[in-house]
Structure 1
């Protein structure tokens, strides 16, 4: 049973305003996931030390997020904290990997303060958004499964970063690959 209950974090440095963020969330999942198919990727890998390997192991067929069944995000919208959680599981799950699990996105907007005391070790500034991603209770298809998530982000303005790829391992030994625009 995969219990990746420790959320993975991301800061948006050219993030949309909190009002735009909440508008996107209310239109979820299409507003959050976009029109193009985004995927939850799973690899069967015994070599977890080489996070830069492409791919990091034998790929399993990906889970298309467009084919997930999502909860009503309005039920989890909290205007006081400017946060909402979107949970989903595959509509058709023949392997029953998500029988007792889900993929969750928790988005929170910040104006000036209120962030966790321990940031996710990524560059962040005021007036940004934070995204937590958690895969809870899903059964991996292999003993050495590694998971990846294909995402698209929004940015605006001339000071948004251009595309560059960085491979890193944080201090909790969780592999991460970030692509940002300079």
Structure 2
């Protein structure tokens, strides 16, 4: 996932985002409570290279965090919920669940539980219970939603860091295998 590899491992000086190399990662945003519904979802502000980093927490058992973002038709999204690193003394879980919801805010495009690795921004793996979504296609243009919760909705997950990258529709030839052994 070239778009966010440097930020996910937190040890690289260069930050890759899309086809752009940045000297530093985007500014870190904060989750804004109450964001427990699509109507109160925290808006994601992307930088010029379509990257965003958001700090948040599932501060009480049963809390759910919603985030909203705009994307043009044919875009793809890459999301990692990093639940590793220093945790709040009252936190009882590192296990997240992530849903990518369609523009209607109801239909699930993709759901993930435990496909991500939490490292807290350093090189040590601290949990395999983080969530990630990679290369999900956003077919219609509009406002999409991310729904983040703690697995089981019965523990505190504090903190988490959400990494989000939107890649715009690209020529399919960029992803197509060139089977004739000639330059593409």
| Bin for the TM-score computed over the shorter chain | under 0.3
More contact order relative to length (CA 8 Å, sep ≥ 6):
1
The two structures have a TM-score, normalised by structure 1, of: 0.28
Task: Give the number of the structure whose residues are more often helix, by fraction.
Answer: 1
> TM-score, normalized by length of structure 2?
0.27
More strand by share: 2
